């Protein structure tokens, strides 16, 4: 049986965050201005991460958004060699990392700007944010600083 | 030593033998088959069950659905779902409910067709699903399940000098036990493992890297399967066919980034002391450690957190084949072959209870002579970000 011709598939896209998720929408909206934001409780000064509408330390709900300098250090990382997602499969090997921002939050991101992620990433290395632009938001990647 | 209470006992167990049902059996059917076999093992009947514990693996509105499917009218219904640790939570809750006089015979069941569904758990899983705040912050990164655990391993190596060779000890001990278990051997053949044989440290560290620093042979399999556990009140247990395996202590805990920043410390550091305190025993007294082996690093971290050794000393502790059932110094680790080499359909926690009960009955395929005390420790969720821990201490008369 002859097989039918396969249509050319468009390149796979990164799965993007939603701007409609209530707690994280302000974070992603701020990325439109290339601002990396986090919350601090106006009543007790606790840094609240991930974003949400209430303080987890006191009973307050007055959370102020602050902008990070976008600098920090690699807390830990892994280099992904196997992925079944078409976007990421095309990018292996790539590095994923927990980044300790200087202001306190520990955020999950990808490390870019390293020639060989299996050799060039070290725990504790200093990194800075690098934005990946998209139509409605920007993705905060990190590269060695 | 505080007075050890014997409020409830495991009296019936069953592990579904097939790890590849080729799409011909549903999770509900696996759950029901397991329930009937476990009740028969105990010498009980459907009508004796008055409490149901269910993680929702059979479908939505779990408490109602499973009661109707089994044809039961339970007076206690608990649908806690905390991933792979659900069954340790269920056992803890069954003990509590029986001690409170609200139930006499509790039924826990599990069924999964993860392998038939090609649902990637062990080596390829892509995180996703419903849009929670956390999903919406992290889903774009492409983090796989393995890479989440791998970040714990890297940090452990960084802080404590732990090596891949030390982590590999966990995989080789588990495979050593699997090769003695005919069901595990059949599972590895059914799932088309490349080599169904005992492994060496070099085999493990020489297998391909899935997510640095974790290798293929440090990752659990993706199987079909399931099982059931029956837990009963002391007066019921005394009349059952099998010797009772007492639940001596139980602990539950959560871990997420904001309640503890050190990812080398798991929720076991919270649940363990509660369970050991209630049981009035310490880790050094245990003969058998059934610890959720999603990946090698999961076991290393939990051994430390449960107090088998100090934080950071796990690498040296597991070296030299210590975790094999016939090695001095114990404990025997995952004597059924574990999730790495026997059975991992997604939520392995029920098998930890089942194999611990086999050991305390004296009929494991890697039997520790005269085993008296065991721990079943479930880890559900993801070790490197957010997870639950359930610790159950078990003992025999």
Measured from the Cβ of residue A86, the count of other Cβ atoms closer than 10 Å reads 11
- Cβ proximity of B76 and B102 under 8 Å: yes
pLDDT at position B160 is: 98
Put simply, whether B259 touches A (Cβ < 8 Å) is: no
The whole-angstrom distance between B261's CA and the closest CA on chain A is 9
Residue B176 resides in a domain:
no
Distance between CA atoms of residues B159 and B311, nearest Å: 10
Put simply, whether A23 touches B (Cβ < 8 Å) is: yes
Residue B268 resides in a domain:
yes
Q: Is the peptide bond before A50 cis (omega within 30 degrees of 0)?
A: yes
Closest CA to B15 of B293, B226, B180, B294: B226
Helices B182-190 & B164-178 angle (0-180, nearest 10): 110
Q: Are strands A71-80 and B386-396 parallel, antiparallel or unpaired?
A: unpaired
Measured from the Cβ of residue A59, the count of other Cβ atoms closer than 10 Å reads 9
The whole-angstrom distance between B265's CA and the closest CA on chain A is 14
- Cβ proximity of B148 and B212 under 8 Å: no
- Cβ proximity of B95 and B237 under 8 Å: no
Is there a contact between B151 and A97 if contact means CB atoms under 8 Å apart?
yes
Pick from A23, A80, A108: CB nearest B133: A23
Put simply, whether A107 touches B (Cβ < 8 Å) is: yes
pLDDT at position A6 is: 55
Is there a contact between A123 and B213 if contact means CB atoms under 8 Å apart?
no
Is there a contact between A108 and B137 if contact means CB atoms under 8 Å apart?
yes
Q: What residues of chain B lie within 8 A of the CB of A81, using their CB?
A: 208-212
Domains in chain A: boundaries: 25-144
Pick from A78, A84, A88: CB nearest B154: A78
Pick from B137, B150, B158: CB nearest A123: B158
- Cβ proximity of B189 and B116 under 8 Å: no
Structural domain boundaries enclosing B54: 9-118+222-396
Mutate to test the interface with A, among B258, B263, B385 (most CBs of A within 10 A): B258
Pick from B120, B138, B140: CB nearest A16: B140
pLDDT per position as a tens digit, A26-53: 999 999 999 999 999 999 999 999 999 9
Closest CA to B121 of B19, B223, B28, B25: B223
Q: Searching chain B, which residue's CA lies closest to the CA of residue A49?
A: B258
Extract the residue ranges of chain B whose pLDDT is less than 70. Answer: 1-3, 119-130
Q: What residues of chain B lie within 8 A of the CB of A49, using their CB?
A: 257-258
Q: Are strands B51-53 and B76-78 parallel, antiparallel or unpaired?
A: parallel
Read off the DSSP letter of residue B84.
B
- Cβ proximity of B172 and B199 under 8 Å: yes
Chain A segment 33-62 residues within 8 A of B by beta carbon are: 48-52, 56
Q: Who contacts B200 (Cβ-Cβ below 8 Å, separation ≥6)?
A: B172
Would you give the distance in Å from CA B302 to the centre of its chain?
Answer: 12
- A21 phi-psi bin (left φ>0, alpha ψ -120 to 50, beta other): beta
Put simply, whether B137 touches A (Cβ < 8 Å) is: yes
Domain A25-144 has CATH 2.70.98.10: no
Closest CA to B35 of B8, B4, B66: B66
Is there a contact between A81 and B208 if contact means CB atoms under 8 Å apart?
yes
Distance between CA atoms of residues B16 and B345, nearest Å: 11
Distance between CA atoms of residues A143 and B6, nearest Å: 57
- Per the document, the length of chain B is 397
Q: Which helix (H) or strand (E) holds B39?
A: helix B27-42
Q: Which helix (H) or strand (E) holds B253?
A: strand B245-255
pLDDT at position B123 is: 56
Distance between CA atoms of residues B101 and B299, nearest Å: 35
Q: Which helix (H) or strand (E) holds B188?
A: helix B182-190
Mutate to test the interface with A, among B121, B153, B154, B301 (most CBs of A within 10 A): B154
Residue B306 resides in a domain:
yes
Put simply, whether A79 touches B (Cβ < 8 Å) is: yes
Extract the residue ranges of chain A whose pLDDT is less than 70. Answer: 1-8
At A33 the three-state DSSP class reads helix
- Residue with the two structure tokens 């011709």: A5
Residue B179 resides in a domain:
no
Distance between CA atoms of residues A31 and A105, nearest Å: 16
- B311-348 CB burial, b ≥16 within 10 A, e <16: beebbbbbeeebbbbeeeebbbbbbbbbbbbbbbbbbb
Q: Searching chain A, which residue's CA lies closest to the CA of residue B148?
A: A78
Distance between CA atoms of residues B246 and A63, nearest Å: 49
Distance between CA atoms of residues B48 and A68, nearest Å: 60
Put simply, whether A139 touches B (Cβ < 8 Å) is: yes
Distance between CA atoms of residues A139 and A130, nearest Å: 8
Put simply, whether A136 touches B (Cβ < 8 Å) is: no
The ipTM (two decimal places) reads: 0.93
pLDDT at position B248 is: 98
Distance between CA atoms of residues B38 and B324, nearest Å: 28
pLDDT at position B244 is: 98
Q: Which residues pair with A140 in a beta bridge?
A: A131
pLDDT at position B121 is: 57
Residue B217 resides in a domain:
no
- Cβ proximity of B156 and B162 under 8 Å: yes
pLDDT at position B30 is: 97
Put simply, whether B142 touches A (Cβ < 8 Å) is: yes
Pick from A28, A81, A106: CB nearest B257: A106
Is there a contact between B155 and A76 if contact means CB atoms under 8 Å apart?
yes
Closest CA to B22 of B118, B159, B154: B118
Show the tokens assigned to B198. 């005992």
How is B227-252 classified by DSSP, letter by letter? Answer: EEEEEE-HHHHTTSSSPPEEEEEEEE
Q: Is the peptide bond before B331 cis (omega within 30 degrees of 0)?
A: yes
Distance between CA atoms of residues B314 and B264, nearest Å: 11
As for how many domains chain B has, the answer is 1
Q: Searching chain B, which residue's CA lies closest to the CA of residue A75?
A: B155
pLDDT at position B120 is: 54
- Helices (H), strands (E): how many in chain B? 14, 12
Q: Which residues pair with B288 in a beta bridge?
A: B332, B374
Q: What is the dihedral of CA B253, B258, B262, B266, to 10 degrees?
A: 20
Kindly report the CATH number assigned to the domain that includes residue B236.
3.40.47.10
- B193-206 CB burial, b ≥16 within 10 A, e <16: beebeebebebbbe
């Amino acid at each position: 049986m002859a097989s039918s011709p396969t249509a050319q598939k468009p390149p796979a896209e990164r799965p993007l965050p939603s701007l409609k998720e209530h707690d994280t929408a302000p974070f992603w909206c701020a990325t439109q201005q290339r601002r990396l934001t986090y919350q601090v409780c106006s009543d007790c000064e606790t840094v609240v991460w991930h974003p949400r509408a209430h303080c987890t330390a006191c009973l307050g709900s007055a959370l102020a958004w602050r902008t990070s300098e976008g600098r920090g250090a690699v807390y830990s990382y892994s280099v992904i060699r196997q992925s079944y997602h078409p976007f990421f499969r095309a990018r292996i090997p790539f590095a994923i990392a927990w980044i300790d921002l200087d202001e306190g939050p520990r955020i999950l991101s990808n490390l870019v700007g390293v020639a060989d992620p299996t050799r060039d990433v070290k725990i504790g290395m200093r990194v800075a944010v690098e934005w990946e632009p998209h139509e409605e938001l920007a993705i905060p990647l990190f590269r060695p600083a | 030593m505080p007075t050890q209470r014997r409020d409830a006992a495991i009296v019936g167990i069953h592990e579904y033998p097939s790890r590849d049902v080729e799409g011909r059996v549903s999770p509900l059917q696996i759950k029901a088959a397991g329930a009937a076999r476990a009740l028969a093992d105990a010498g009980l009947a459907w009508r004796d069950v008055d409490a149901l514990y269910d993680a929702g693996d059979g479908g939505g509105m779990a408490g109602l659905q499973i009661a109707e499917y089994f044809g039961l009218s339970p007076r206690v219904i608990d649908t806690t779902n905390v991933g792979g640790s659900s069954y340790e939570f269920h056992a803890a809750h069954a003990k509590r409910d029986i001690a409170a006089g609200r139930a006499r015979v509790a039924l826990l069941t599990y069924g999964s067709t993860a392998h038939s569904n090609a649902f990637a758990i062990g080596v390829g899983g892509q995180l996703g699903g419903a849009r929670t705040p956390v999903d919406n912050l992290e889903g774009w990164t492409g983090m796989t399940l393995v890479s989440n655990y791998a970040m714990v391993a890297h940090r452990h190596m960084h802080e404590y000098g732990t090596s891949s060779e030390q982590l590999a000890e966990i995989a080789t001990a588990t495979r050593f036990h699997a090769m003695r278990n005919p069901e595990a051997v059949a599972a590895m053949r059914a799932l088309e493992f490349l080599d169904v044989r005992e492994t060496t440290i070099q085999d493990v560290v020489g297998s391909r890297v899935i997510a640095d620093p974790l290798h293929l042979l440090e990752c659990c399999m993706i199987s079909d399967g399931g099982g059931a556990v029956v837990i009963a009140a002391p007066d019921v247990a005394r009349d059952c066919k099998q010797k009772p395996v007492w639940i001596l202590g139980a602990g539950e805990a959560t871990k997420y980034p904001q309640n503890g920043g050190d990812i080398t410390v798991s929720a076991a550091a919270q649940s363990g002391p509660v369970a050991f305190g209630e049981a009035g025993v310490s880790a050094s007294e245990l003969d058998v450690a059934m610890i959720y082996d999603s990946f090698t690093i999961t076991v290393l971290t939990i051994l430390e957190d449960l107090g088998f050794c100090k934080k950071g000393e796990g690498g040296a502790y597991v070296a030299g084949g210590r975790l094999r059932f016939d090695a001095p110094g114990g404990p025997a680790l995952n004597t059924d072959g574990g999730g790495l080499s026997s059975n991992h359909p997604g939520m392995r926690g029920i098998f930890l209870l089942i194999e611990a009960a086999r050991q305390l009955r004296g009929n494991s395929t890697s039997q520790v002579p005269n085993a008296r005390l065991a721990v079943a420790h479930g880890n559900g969720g993801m070790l490197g970000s957010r997870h639950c821990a359930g610790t159950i201490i078990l003992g025999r008369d």
